[in-house]
Amino acid sequence: MATDETLNSRRLAFDILRNITEKKETFDVALISGMANYPAMEERDRAFARHLITTCLRHLPFLDGLIDGAMDAPLEDRNLGTRNWLRLGITQILYMNVENHAAVHTTVELISNSPTKGIRGKKGLANAILRRFAKNSEQLLEKSQSDATANIAPWLRERWLKQYGIEELKLVSEALLIEPPLDLTVKDKTQIDAIVANLNGQKLGNYTCRLPKAGEVTGLKGFNEGQWWVQDFAASLPVQLMGDVKGKNIADLCAAPGGKTMQLASAGANVTAVDVSKKRLLRLEENLKRTNLSAKIIASNILKWHPEQLFDGILLDAPCTATGTMRRRPDVPINKTVDDVLKLSGVQKNLLEHSFKQLKTNGTLIYCTCSLEQEEGEDVIKNFLENTPSAKRIPFTANDIGPLSSEIKTEKGDIRTLPSILGDIGGMDGFFISRLTKQDI
């Protein structure tokens, strides 16, 4: 019989998956709330549960295809709990270092002990399906590995195929299956080499120290001293591409949790950080305090915010579907849909139009989103330039970008990063970045 610790780690994974699939919580929220229900759980069991749930989410479309193919009749929508247990069981069989018989036995035992009658009633069905998959695990794993695109949600696979082509789709699909490294943005670029050496990391550009594994961030050297903060390499590019901001008045819009605010402040800018979420701004304040940096913080709906003075520069990191962050947020394909892409593109257009009005003539506005969807990037800028005579794009050049220029610069001179870029050392988030200026007309 499985131990309580073994069963509890799987219960935790199930609780997190249930909250994501049924309550539509984000991965981070579901993870935190799930962990809180098991305060005495050892770290190794927490790590197992986290690995199990992230692996399951990254392969979810493929897993569902297996489950549906094994059924004479589809599982009812109301029996999502049984599907979730099957998802976790098959994940252990195919992708984790768990003996097949242990994966089957623990999953069936947990289904048998479920407080939900509808789930308990599927014990025999689950046992038969899992044993069949365990018997054919090598062939199924080979099938999974032969086509990484099968792990992408159909609504995204169709869109990315059209936008990027089959070869890039394959590379992106492969990148999204890999646990991402941990990127740290350093406060003082003159200390980057020392910080990289202290943490046994890898230097990316002038500001990023990359570590192969996340681990406990607060225990790393330099955290308490405020020498760095967690920020994906791609997310650090928008501020770097603003150019010299020292002494300039810069607005960071949709600023929380504050990575870009800290970048701007550490570069000597006078920063006004604006965000609608008071809760998220508290985290920004904590980050500023830890790094001994300062910014003026305003809690406001940006569309209703009218500053007294115009700004030299504006950074608009607009809310988006976040499909570019799926390496770290594998819940995105579950919690977002095509409707969200269309809805948010409208929000982004409104935010860009309003934000541009707060920019001085000859000032610089950086628009960015962590989305891979064209409607949230290229199309927003195209529409804005067509309808705003005073707006002009400032194309990025090789001098702005450096060695990555040929990989991330678009034909129009914007930037499009993909999870597959720098794939040999862990990839990066997907971002769209455009640089605009205001001219007299």
Q: What is the per-residue pLDDT for 77?
A: 65
Q: What is the per-residue pLDDT for 97?
A: 87
Q: How many CB atoms lie within 10 A of CB 9?
A: 24
Exposed, middle or buried: residue 282 (CB in 10 Å: 0-12, 13-18, 19+)?
middle
Instruction: Tell me what the mean pLDDT of segment 312-337 comes to.
Output: 97
Q: What is the per-residue pLDDT for 441?
A: 77
Distance, in Å, from the CA atom of 295 to the CA atom of 29, rounded to the nearest integer, reads 27
Distance, in Å, from the CA atom of 5 to the CA atom of 49, rounded to the nearest integer, reads 11
Distance, in Å, from the CA atom of 298 to the CA atom of 440, rounded to the nearest integer, reads 29
Structure confidence by residue, pLDDT tens digits, 338-368: 999 999 999 999 999 999 999 999 999 999 9
Residues of the chain with CATH 1.10.940.10: 4-146
Q: What is the per-residue pLDDT for 78?
A: 66
Provide the 3-class DSSP secondary structure of residue 256: coil
Pick the range with the lowest mean pLDDT from 61-65, 78-82, 223-227, 376-380.
78-82
Question: φ, ψ for residue 392 (rounded to 5)?
Answer: -140, 135
User: What share of the chain in percent tops pLDDT 90?
Assistant: 90
Q: Crossing angle for the helix pair 137-146 and 80-95, nearest 10 degrees? A: 90
Query: How long is the chain?
Result: 441
Q: What is the per-residue pLDDT for 404?
A: 86
Structure confidence by residue, pLDDT tens digits, 295-312: 999 999 999 999 999 999
Token pair of 299, please? 């809690």
Token pair of 357, please? 């009005």
Distance in Å from the first CA to the final CA of the chain: 77
Q: Please say whether the beta carbons of 400 and 241 come within 8 A.
A: yes
Residues of the chain with CATH 3.40.50.150: 237-438
- DSSP secondary structure letters along 193-229: HHHHHHHT-EEETTTEEEES----GGGSTTTTTT-EE
Q: Please say whether the beta carbons of 108 and 100 come within 8 A.
A: no
Residue 226 CB contacts under 8 Å (≥ 6 apart), including other chains:
187, 290, 291, 292, 293
Distance, in Å, from the CA atom of 417 to the CA atom of 429, rounded to the nearest integer, reads 7
Token pair of 204, please? 């990316």
Q: Which residues of 103-141 are buried (b: 16+ CB within 10 A; e: fewer)?
A: bbbbbbebbeebeeeebeebbebbbebbeebbeebeebe
**CATH architecture for the domain at 4-146:** Orthogonal Bundle (1.10)
Instruction: Tell me what the mean pLDDT of segment 107-131 comes to.
Output: 92
Going by their DSSP bridges, the two strands 391-393 and 431-438 should be labelled as antiparallel
Distance, in Å, from the CA atom of 130 to the CA atom of 178, rounded to the nearest integer, reads 25
Q: Please say whether the beta carbons of 10 and 106 come within 8 A.
A: yes
Structure confidence by residue, pLDDT tens digits, 251-310: 999 999 999 999 999 999 999 999 999 999 999 999 999 999 999 999 999 999 999 999
Q: What is the DSSP letter of 150?
A: G
The chain-wide mean pLDDT, for the chain, equals 94
Distance, in Å, from the CA atom of 40 to the CA atom of 53, rounded to the nearest integer, reads 19
Token pair of 413, please? 């001179």
Instruction: Tell me what the mean pLDDT of segment 114-135 comes to.
Output: 92
Q: Which residue, among 295, 380, 373, has the nearest Cα to 346 in the 3D structure? A: 380
Active-site positions read: 370
Q: Please say whether the beta carbons of 275 and 255 come within 8 A.
A: yes
Q: Which residue, among 208, 262, 260, has the nearest Cα to 426 in the 3D structure? A: 208
Q: What is the per-residue pLDDT for 72?
A: 77
- Give residue for tokens 């994940």: 91
| β-bridge mates for residue 297, sequence order | 273
Residue 371 CB contacts under 8 Å (≥ 6 apart), including other chains:
320, 321, 322, 323, 324, 341, 344, 377, 430, 432
Above 80 in pLDDT, residue 2?
no
Token pair of 169, please? 């789709």
Token pair of 162, please? 């059209």
3-state helix, strand, coil in the chain (%, to 5): 55, 15, 30
CATH of domain 237-438: 3.40.50.150
